[in-house]
Amino acid sequence: GAVVSQHPSWVICKSGTSVKIECRSLDFQATTMFWYRQFPKQSLMLMATSNEGSKATYEQGVEKDKFLINHASLTLSTLTVTSAHPEDSSFYICSAREGGTRETQYFGPGTRLLVL
């Protein structure tokens, strides 16, 4: 099956610093990648949709200047949390889709971010 990886798997940073999370589709070309956030004991919430070569589409309430998304190639999308604060601590999960909306999204293993 399709494999999606994320790096790093966990990161601890100081408040005010920026953190970059990578999402890679290992054995397929992902025309669309998605970024989700999951707080403890809660479900996944879609943050943004990223299409290769174009600007990301952010969900309501997600600050695009704080969560920078770059989808520079068909196998890589990055999420940069800028000027991180403790409330940004969460589990960030990406997913990738090879084709149109009827295609399956494959999820990465997630990145645990802890901001001190």
Partner 1 sequence: TQLLEQSPQFLSIQEGENLTVYCNSSSVFSSLQWYRQEPGEGPVLLVTVVTGGEVKKLKRLTFQFGDARKDSSLHITAAQPGDTGLYLCAGPSGGGADGLTFGKGTHLIIQP
CB-nearer residue toward partner 1: 45 or 83: 45
When binding is defined by CB under 8 A, the residue of 24, 34, 37, 84 that contacts partner 1 is: 34
CB 73 within 8 A of CB 33: no
CB-nearer residue toward partner 1: 86 or 100: 100
Residue 77, phi then psi, degrees to nearest 5: -130, 145
Q: Residue 46 corresponds to which amino acid? A: L
Question: Does position 98 bind partner 1 by CB under 8 A?
Answer: no
Question: Does position 96 bind partner 1 by CB under 8 A?
Answer: no
Q: What is the DSSP letter of 17?
A: -
**Beta strands of 53-110 (E only): which ranges?**
57-58, 67-73, 76-81, 90-97, 105-107
CB-nearer residue toward partner 1: 49 or 70: 49
CB 2 within 8 A of CB 28: yes
CB-nearer residue toward partner 1: 13 or 44: 44
Segment 63-92, which members bind partner 1 (CB under 8 A)? 91
CB 67 within 8 A of CB 20: no
Give contact residues for partner 1 (rule: CB under 8 A).
4, 6, 32, 34, 36, 41-46, 49, 57, 59, 91, 93, 95, 101-102, 104-110, 112
